[in-house]
A and B are shown apart, each in its own frame.
Chain A
């Protein structure tokens, strides 16, 4: 008897303990006939996230329809409010008389948050990120100075990059610099160029920029493939790279850590270029062919299978695909610009003798011994010719 009472009490307690919030919400919802409650309105006014499923999923049903023989039968059980909600949340069965597939979306509200992110976070990232790396490198240059060849150049040279390697590198580098500049002009034109030079000048610059960006992109993509084919064999990570990174590439402690053709830092730049370059090319292609190559819904679905906690949306409107492609393109490109600015620094003013590798391809033997000792040994074992500095080739 007592057990029964305790059992009943437990069940009652559990019921109350589990359901109060749920039933309260349900009761409120019922009091408005399934529509907005005061709580929803107050939450929206405070700018809080409101679960709109009660509107999104409340789209009417043909089960509500009157029989076809009755006077309202032809309306099919959908009120105009139901249809409006269907349009609002892009759930309706829609057909358009003309224009593209994207025009089947009657209302999409992703544009506002997209453009605010573009002129907010993305511009801030590009501005502070690229500005920051330039200031940091300038600070490094003025405090530590140029990295010199210990003991000075030897006057003897060895071929580091063949002509086709240098051609591939400069195609990639040249196209990247042009793409970076024109991309930044498009991103900052309205906030920087218009106030200084006016609308006409900005439109002319932007018109030129977009043309260059759309066409030079193909050079970038082709040379990215060439770079990958030429250098991937030399860029397989090895234990040597861990030592290289542990010594900070020679900044920490004395002496240069050993390296083969590419050291740890160069491999990092290589893989950064390949991975981010591929990503920026893919998102760029989907921008070049608007609405033809949606890829974010599929990518999100793949990420969700690996990391279900992310809970990324797998159903995206065509517009949202384009907005995401655009933001991703800008973010990845900015990350690349930041890394490449550092790469340009170290390959030019930052280090004595480094530019020659991509200049005429002949580097000083002493420089090569200090930075790529194992590679020099390999080359000399193969009988690589030694030239003299100043030779005309």
Chain B
């Protein structure tokens, strides 16, 4: 199963909700049996220990026009109908160019040998496996779980305790924004909207200072 090719898969992370618990990193590593020494996902903390500290969980952003796909000297990347960027470890030569091209530092390389030679690149697959047959043993060994084929969401986002990390399609996100905007519009009408409703509407789009949320900006 896929998302039907009608939408593009994206990760969104709400920095107002992320509590830097690193459960997404652990869940990903466990679900996909990520090679020793590397993690497909990382939690970035901004202004750590200071007022206004925020955290955000980052992995592959599954770019629409992905630089890694463009630069790869062996052309090992491909994009599914759902916009998930995947790659073939059979072709990958571990040159590391995708890491230099990636704006978000997503590709990871297990140490393979001497003189900086790296093993096959490993990165977030949106829990959608790789080119092998869905949920085959070969696919699991190389790329980890294919939860998308099972009709499930990526493991990191599914277990996020504060619901900071969302695996959404752009369509879902647009619908969410539209709903929130209509909610904001409705509470502006005189007499409408109790305080909780108004707060809910405002919280969904903006932070407590009234500026747009990081998740809105990163979309």
Contacts and interface: CB of A to CB of B under 8 A. Distances in A.
Interface of A: 62, 65, 68, 72-84, 86-87, 92-99, 102-109, 111-112, 114-115, 118-119, 186-187, 189-190, 194, 199-200, 202-203, 206-207, 210-211, 214-215, 217-218, 287-290, 319, 322-323, 326
B20 interface: yes
B51 A210 contact: no
Contact of A103 (B53, B105, B117): B105
Contacts of A215: 115
B95 A210 contact: yes
B51 A214 contact: no
Contacts of B52: 62, 65, 74-78, 83
27 contacts: A75-B51, A75-B208, A81-B211, A84-B217, A93-B47, A97-B45, A98-B42, A99-B42, A102-B105, A104-B44, A105-B105, A106-B104, A111-B67, A111-B101, A114-B71, A114-B100, A119-B71, A186-B95, A190-B72, A194-B74, A200-B91, A202-B74, A207-B93, A210-B95, A211-B117, A217-B115, A326-B97
Contacts of B135: none
Main secondary structure of the interface of A (DSSP, over half): helix
A86 B46 contact: yes
A236 to B, nearest CB: 35
B73 A107 contact: no
A190 B117 contact: no
B46 A87 contact: yes
Contacts of A81: 211-212, 217
A214 B76 contact: no
A87 B215 CA distance: 13
B26 to A, nearest CB: 10
Contacts of B53: 76
Contacts of A186: 73, 95
Interface residues of B, number: 57
A190 B103 contact: no
Given A72-B209, A84-B214, A215-B115, A111 B48 contact: no
Contacts, number: 178
Given A87-B46, A290-B96, A80 B51 contact: no
Given A106-B44, A199-B75, A218-B115, 19 more contacts: A75-B209, A76-B50, A80-B207, A80-B213, A84-B214, A93-B50, A97-B20, A97-B42, A98-B39, A98-B43, A105-B105, A107-B104, A111-B67, A111-B101, A111-B103, A114-B101, A115-B71, A190-B74, A322-B100
B15 interface: yes
A98 to B, nearest CB: 5
A319 B100 CA distance: 5
A199 B71 contact: no
Main secondary structure of the interface of B (DSSP, over half): loop
B102 to A, nearest CB: 6
Most chain A beta carbons < 10 A, residue from B16, B97, B105, B212: B105
Contacts of B168: none
B103 A84 contact: no
A92 B15 CA distance: 14
B5 interface: no
A56 to B, nearest CB: 16
Nearest to B98: A111
Contacts of A78: 47, 52
Nearest to B70: A115
B116 A206 contact: no
A322 B58 CA distance: 22
B118 to A, nearest CB: 8
Contact of A99 (B39, B91, B115, B217): B39
Given A189-B74, A190-B72, A288-B116, A111 B100 contact: yes
